[in-house]
Structure 1
Amino acid sequence: MYIEQGYKGNLGAWNFLIIPGLFSAFMLVNYVMTMSMIEQGVSVEDTMQQLIDQIGKLPTLVLNLSIFVIGIIGIFIWALLINQQSFRGITTSRKKVDWKRVFFMFFFWGILSAGLILLSVYLAPENFEYNLDWSRFLPLLAVVLIMLPLQTSFEEYLFRSQMMQGLGILTKTRWIPFIVSSVLFGLMHAANPEVEKLGMGVMVFYIGTGFLLGAMTLLDEGLELALGFHAANNIVAALMVTSTWTALQTDSIYLDVSEPTGMGISDFASVLIGYPIILIILGRIYKWKNWSEKLFGRVLSKEEFLALDHQEQPLQNQSL
């Protein structure tokens, strides 16, 4: 009943789409401007490098993340004060936010992704330079642990909360918000320098990750697993390995010095095979049932949901 939590707000479905619509318009303008720069022979990589040369890697990272910090504050203000939802209601369908789920997914994916990076370094050491400098790494660690979870949470609450609940209530379906929010999540990254360097094939990774996070949210009826996964993914990437042409350029432990060659078979396999395996593992751990209904079924009407919620309240009070 995660999508139906939106009914507990006092406003209409369109109110859930204001911030996602504005942000999508902002990203579209950013994409058009980026493409215009590329057509004029101005590289996104060179533009970013100029900024780094002027103010440094860490200040550039803080500057880039600041917009997301403002964004998550804006979403919470809008959802809590305008939509009049509770923090629990925009996060989960459970009676309280399950932080154990957040931290389990964070450490599960964090350890796995860190292990895969170390395996890549071991198998192809010529592609990496050891880059650890404690005087630069420790400030990076502080910034990453504070700001990156806010950045990833902004994206989760934007796409998997505001947009998914809003579209679900508007269309009374689950498959429309599942597909639309996942695709738009991927397209949001279209202006990243990785796309310029690796080609449009990398969008399979971004959109595929959107579908993974959307499936986690609908199958588990809450954002907790998606919040943990997304935070772990970006934190590990920022701390362990970077390159001169990625969106996140940091003083990480390793520097990838290999020449980008685009998406290979192994990259596509990690999305098309690896991601479903992750869902199967999580499904066994959390005993997910009715996958088809949760991903593609209908959303209850407001009357049906409130009647069902009202029936559950006496049972909850009795158990107390």
Structure 2
Amino acid sequence: MYIEQGYKGNEGLWKYLVLPLGFIGFMVYNYIVTVNSNIDIEAMMQQIIDRFGSNLVLISLLAPLVAGFFVVLGWTFLVHQQSITSLTTSRKRIDWKRIFFAFGLWSVITIVLTGIDIYFSPEDYVLNFDLMKFIPLAIIAILLIPLQTSFEEYLFRGHMMQGLGLAVRNRWLPLVVTSTLFGLMHIANPEVEKLGYSLLIYYIGTGFFLGILTLMDEGLELALGFHAANNLITALLVTADWTAFQTNSIYKDVSEPALGWDAIMPVFVVFPILLLIFSKVYKWKNWKDRLFGRVLSKEEFVALTDGESKLA
């Protein structure tokens, strides 16, 4: 009953609209400016990196989203008067073991898949490792990237999913809307400019994967761990001149950017396998109800939780 955790705060439609509309408005503005700009964004980014260094540029890119993380938590606590625990999970406390399990699993898979690609396509990669440059990157990435990814999870899979779910009283519509918006949020990324809009299949598919994780597991923990690992390990392992994060990573991808099957393969192969693994580990049942069932009314939720408290 993750969506129903929203009943534990002070409800009100406007309270669920301010943050999403503000963020979406900012992203739309950013996209319009990018599309209508005559400036070569890639060249401009390279000039900024040459002047200030990739670490400072990385900090400047992450800082607004890190700030957003604290805004979402502050809004939840002060305006909704809802606990951060109930925004995170339907469990009595946040399950950190779930976060670390998802983080570790996807980290290992990402490293293995990247290693395989480097082994079979060595001409596409250049060893970029410089210990004195890598250490500052690692510190910055470890401190900031999990906050950046957590902001996106708490906004889309937390705040928006709970608010929309309480409004429409079902689970499938919040899943579809938040997953699609999450994917479209990346439309201004340089990767999309280079590879084309078909890459949005990957981003929207990732949104659906994270949304299914949240609904099936009745909490954000697995999504938080996966998303942090995805961005952090990638930033440390591989960089390219045309990616959003240009870092002093271990390897640099020097191949000509092209949208191939490997770019969207995770959506149709890897993510379903991961869902199967998680379902076995955490014994998920009632897929249809958890993904497409109705959301309880506040009265039903209060009666159910009161009954469980008395039994406990």
> Normalising to structure 1: TM-score of the pair?
0.96
Secondary structure in structure 2 of the residue aligned to 1:129: strand
Is the 1:131–1:253 Cα contact (8 Å) retained in structure 2? yes
Amino acid at match of 1:118: G
After superposition, residues 140-219 of structure 1 pair within 5 angstroms as 140-219=137-216
Task: Tell me what 1:233 maps to.
Answer: 230
Task: Tell me what 2:22 maps to.
Answer: 22
Is the 1:17–1:162 Cα contact (8 Å) retained in structure 2? no
Secondary structure in structure 2 of the residue aligned to 1:249: coil
Q: CA deviation at 1:14?
A: 3.4
The correspondence for 1:274, drawn from 270, 281, 287, is 270
Q: Report the Cα distance in structure 2 between the residues aligned to 1:235 and 1:266, rounded to whole angstroms.
A: 20
Moved over 4 A (4+): none
Q: Report the Cα distance in structure 2 between the residues aligned to 1:86 and 1:211, rounded to whole angstroms.
A: 26
Q: Report the Cα distance in structure 1 between the residues aligned to 2:289 and 2:11, rounded to whole angstroms.
A: 27
Q: Report the Cα distance in structure 2 between the residues aligned to 1:75 and 1:32, rounded to whole angstroms.
A: 25
Amino acid at match of 2:203: Y
* 1:114-166 deviation per Cα after TM superposition (whole angstroms, max 9, x unaligned): 11111111111010000100010000000000000000000000000010001
Uncovered stretches (5+) of structure 2, i.e. residues with no partner? none
Q: CA deviation at 1:16?
A: 2.1
Task: Tell me what 2:118 maps to.
Answer: 121
Q: Report the Cα distance in structure 2 between the residues aligned to 1:83 and 1:17, rounded to whole angstroms.
A: 12
Task: Tell me what 1:106 maps to.
Answer: 103
After superposition, residues 30-49 of structure 1 pair within 5 angstroms as 30-37=30-37, 40=38, 42-49=39-46
Is the 1:45–1:245 Cα contact (8 Å) retained in structure 2? yes
Q: CA deviation at 1:200?
A: 0.7
The answer as to 2:294 corresponding to 1:298 is yes
Cα RMSD (Å) of the superposition? 0.9
Q: Report the Cα distance in structure 2 between the residues aligned to 1:175 and 1:43, rounded to whole angstroms.
A: 40
The answer as to 2:3 corresponding to 1:6 is no
* 1:192-237 deviation per Cα after TM superposition (whole angstroms, max 9, x unaligned): 0000100011101100000000000000000000000000000110
Q: CA deviation at 1:279?
A: 0.6
Amino acid at match of 2:234: A
Q: Report the Cα distance in structure 1 between the residues aligned to 2:21 and 2:173, rounded to whole angstroms.
A: 16
Task: Tell me what 1:246 maps to.
Answer: 243
Secondary structure in structure 2 of the residue aligned to 1:173: coil
Secondary structure in structure 2 of the residue aligned to 1:222: coil
Amino acid at match of 2:87: I
Q: Report the Cα distance in structure 2 between the residues aligned to 1:45 and 1:223, rounded to whole angstroms.
A: 34
Identical-pair percentage:
53
Q: CA deviation at 1:278?
A: 0.9
Task: Tell me which moved more, 21-30 or 247-256.
Answer: 21-30
Task: Tell me which moved more, 290-299 or 251-260.
Answer: 290-299
After superposition, residues 24-103 of structure 1 pair within 5 angstroms as 24-37=24-37, 40=38, 42-103=39-100
Is the 1:106–1:229 Cα contact (8 Å) retained in structure 2? yes
Task: Tell me which moved more, 159-168 or 15-24.
Answer: 15-24
Q: CA deviation at 1:313?
A: 1.1
Is the 1:3–1:165 Cα contact (8 Å) retained in structure 2? yes
The answer as to 2:127 corresponding to 1:130 is yes
Task: Tell me which moved more, 241-250 or 264-273.
Answer: 264-273
Uncovered stretches (5+) of structure 1, i.e. residues with no partner? none
Q: Report the Cα distance in structure 2 between the residues aligned to 1:142 and 1:182, rounded to whole angstroms.
A: 30
Secondary structure in structure 1 of the residue aligned to 2:252: strand
Secondary structure in structure 2 of the residue aligned to 1:109: helix
Is the 1:14–1:166 Cα contact (8 Å) retained in structure 2? no
Q: Report the Cα distance in structure 2 between the residues aligned to 1:209 and 1:48, rounded to whole angstroms.
A: 26
Q: Report the Cα distance in structure 2 between the residues aligned to 1:229 and 1:147, rounded to whole angstroms.
A: 15
* 1:261-313 deviation per Cα after TM superposition (whole angstroms, max 9, x unaligned): 12x22333321122111111111111101111111111111111111111111
Aligned residues: 312
The correspondence for 2:309, drawn from 287, 310, 313, is 313
Task: Tell me what 1:289 maps to.
Answer: 285
